[in-house]
Structure 1
Amino acid sequence: MIKIVGKINKELSARILNVDENIIGFFVDYTDISIPKKTFFKEVYLNGIHENIDCELIYITNESLFELDFIEEGYKTICFFKFHGNIPKIVNDIPYVKDWYDYKDHLSMAIFSTNITC
């Protein structure tokens, strides 16, 4: 599980990675386990709503914009996900934020979930 604060803006996204319409960057606040690139996520939760998704973690960086191989447990990162098929409305509803601290409250954060167990 990873906790998503919000989407990164297009300007920052362009500085980090060349993206297309199926790739979205997010500020990730927290993960409860270390998660490597190429991990697939199957569920998203936002504001009490749950929906199935099909996306892959394709790029991870830190605040200094150094590329990482995995999201380390408990660390804040910027992550890019490639969505396979249409991007669900619930993902489009995740707000754009300026950084990891720019959110209304804990209920405004999204959760991406997978079936990884450690």
Structure 2
Amino acid sequence: MKTTKPLIILGQASVSFLKEWDSAFSTGSDIKKAHVFFCDYSNCDIPVGHVFDTIQIDNIIVADCQIILKRVSQQFLKPFDYIPEGWQTICEFEFIGKVPEIIAASFPIIESWDSPNHVIIKFS
């Protein structure tokens, strides 16, 4: 299933939020290595397990990679089986192979969707 438009990523979840995430989902993973991002409103349903294959900035592909959607939730940390159309979500992703440098270089750490220092980067 390919999304019709890219998923907009606003920023990386803060360490304090990641502790809540780990507690809610019992991931048991190293929170310093977790790739949990605040995502903007989705234009379509996207199931857990979906694989994105590019990262875009200003509609220009800046990295080709495989990014698997692993977990989806929202502000109350209720697990979802998919990103619902029209929702802002918090999602955990797994990068297959090396994590692209653009992730470390461009993603601000944010506390919520309303954080003033967010960026718009797209997974498609």
**What TM bracket, shorter-length normalisation?**
0.7 to 0.9
Structure 1 residue 70, shift from structure 2 partner? 0.6
TM-score (norm 2): 0.80
Structure 1 residue 66, shift from structure 2 partner? 0.3
Secondary structure at the counterpart of residue 64 of structure 2: strand
TM-score (norm 1): 0.84
Amino acid at match of 1:41: F
Name the CA distance, whole Å, in 2 between partners of 1:97 and 1:49.
Answer: 24
Which 5+ residue runs of structure 1 have no aligned equivalent? 114-118
Query: For the structure 1 residues 112 and 103, does the alpha-carbon distance in structure 2 shift closer, same or farther, using more than 3 Å as the test?
Result: farther
Superposed, which structure 2 residues align to 1:1-118 within 5 Å? 1-17=6-22, 18=27, 19-20=29-30, 23-46=34-57, 50-92=62-104, 93-104=106-117, 108-113=119-124
| Two-structure CA RMSD over aligned residues (Å) | 1.8
Name the count of aligned residue pairs: 111
Name the CA distance, whole Å, in 2 between partners of 1:13 and 1:81.
Answer: 13
CA deviation vs aligned residue, 1:15-42 (integer Å, no higher than 9, x gap) = 2133346530000112211000000110
Name the CA distance, whole Å, in 2 between partners of 1:40 and 1:5.
Answer: 19
Which 5+ residue runs of structure 2 have no aligned equivalent? 1-5
Aligned-residue identity in percent: 26
Structure 1 residue 14, shift from structure 2 partner? 2.4
